[in-house]
Amino acid sequence: MAGPKMIRVAVNGYGVIGKRVATAVALQDDMSLVGVSDVVTDWRAHMVNRNGFLLFGATEENAGAMRAAGLEVAGTLDDLLGRADVVVDCTPKRIAAKNVDAYRRRGLKFILQGGEKHSATGHSFVAESNYVSALDREATRVVSCNTTSIVRTLTALKRTGLLRRARGTLLRRATDPWESHESGIMNTLVPEPEIPSHQGPDAQSVDPDLDVITMAVKVPETLAHLHYWSVQMTREASKEQVLDAFRASSRIALINTSDGLVALNTIKELMADRGRPHDNLYEVALWADMLRVQGDELFYAYMVDNQAIVIPETIDAIRALAGTVRAANESIVRTNTALGIDSALM
Ligand SMILES: NC(=O)c1ccc[n+]([C@@H]2O[C@H](COP(=O)([O-])OP(=O)(O)OC[C@H]3O[C@@H](n4cnc5c(N)ncnc54)[C@H](O)[C@@H]3O)[C@@H](O)[C@H]2O)c1
């Protein structure tokens, strides 16, 4: 049973993001995972039972099908919502927005993920940028993986007064690894049809002051995204001053090609060697030795683990909505400690 100060959290949708959120919630000493809800009856739902989490069917019909498949089922989503203070909706794009009415009817606080529109909650969240503005709110949206990385890195530059404008090119993974038998591209590159791509405007939904434009292309791999940025700074700065700006964020990890971290797969392997669940890279992994400063211009590249980067943000968003931790940094440190996010990847 949850202690008196524990935030009771429900996760709706136990897929790529939902299962990572559930694991992360279970690791927090001020949160209790009251259960997860889904619609599937195959191995994915069996893993909920095996991991010791309570499983709920999204509907009576789903719960019945789960029982018929030999699963232990604790009830329906409606039952789960009755046990929670905050629900994190990790269902696929556009399904979550339809659940909002059910959350509101129960007076529940809720978090949506980046597949939904800003208007679905009226607030978009990245902890280091705007934690305080989410305090005690009914709802927020944790922005997408790419947008999270953009806001983290540009906020670090903004805080030191170095940021004038930023222009980025995003190489986007084609699909998530476990689904690569179903979709994904091979032997081609697919540019997004519009410039700017949606991530720049999305970053402005968190921080409207950011002068940012993005372009994106889908690439035939599944590991992670890779970003290249060109930044106009407010003044000339040294490389060390820029690196110090990034070091000030606990969720940007500086890496070096000279350590053998020369490609996305090597960094994922490092996360596996660190024993992180799902080989999660929660940080933006930014190449320090590649970073280049030329007068007042700055150039750098980084990796975004799309499956993992939003997990710490989601944990902070739970605390912000619950209002139990008032200072952003206190929540960030608690989350980082529980997830093993420290100053260096190696
Ligand atoms: N995959 C990523 O890299 C990534 C990164 C950042 C944000 N997001 C966002 O996170 C959200 C979830 O994406 P995902 O990749 O985890 O999706 P997913 O397809 O991997 O998982 C969704 C889960 O929800 C379940 N589901 C489907 N309909 C449901 C319903 N009506 N009720 C309950 N459960 C239902 C599915 O069975 C599945 O287990 C989306 O908004 C997405 O845009 C995804």
pLDDT in tens, 194-217: 999 999 999 999 999 999 999 999
Mean pLDDT, residues 177-205 = 97
The residues near 13 (Cβ < 8 Å, ≥ 6 apart) are 36, 37, 38, 89, 90, 91, 92, 95, 96
What percentage of the chain has pLDDT greater than the value 70? 99
Mean pLDDT, residues 61-74 = 98
Evaluate: CB of 177 within 6 angstroms of ligand 1.
Answer: no
Q: What is the pLDDT of residue 343?
A: 79
Q: How far is CA 258 from the centre of its chain?
A: 28
The question of whether 90 is a catalytic residue gets the answer no
User: Which residue has a Cα nearest atom 42 of ligand 1?
Assistant: 115
CA of 36 to the centre of ligand 1 (A): 13
CA of 15 to the centre of ligand 1 (A): 5
Evaluate: CB of 149 within 6 angstroms of ligand 1.
Answer: no
> Which listed residue (17, 33, 40, 145) is catalytic?
145
CA distance 143 to 125: 6
Mean pLDDT, residues 54-69 = 98
Q: Does the pLDDT value for residue 162 go beyond 80?
A: yes
Q: What is the pLDDT of residue 5?
A: 81
Instruction: Measure Cα distances from 13 to 18, 36, 111, 274 in Å.
Output: 6, 7, 12, 27
pTM of the model as a whole? 0.98
CA of 135 to the centre of ligand 1 (A): 25
Helix-, strand-, coil-residue percentages of the chain, each rounded to 5: 40, 25, 40
State which of 48, 76, 90 you would mutate to test the pocket of ligand 1, scoring each by most atoms of that ligand within 8 A of its C-beta.
Answer: 90
Evaluate: CB of 57 within 6 angstroms of ligand 1.
Answer: no
Q: Does the pLDDT value for residue 2 go beyond 60?
A: no
CA distance 34 to 62: 19
Instruction: Measure Cα distances from 53 to 9, 141, 161 in Å.
Output: 12, 24, 45
Q: Does the pLDDT value for residue 127 go beyond 60?
A: yes
User: In angstroms, what is the C-alpha Rg of the chain?
Assistant: 20
User: Which residue has a Cα nearest atom 41 of ligand 1?
Assistant: 115
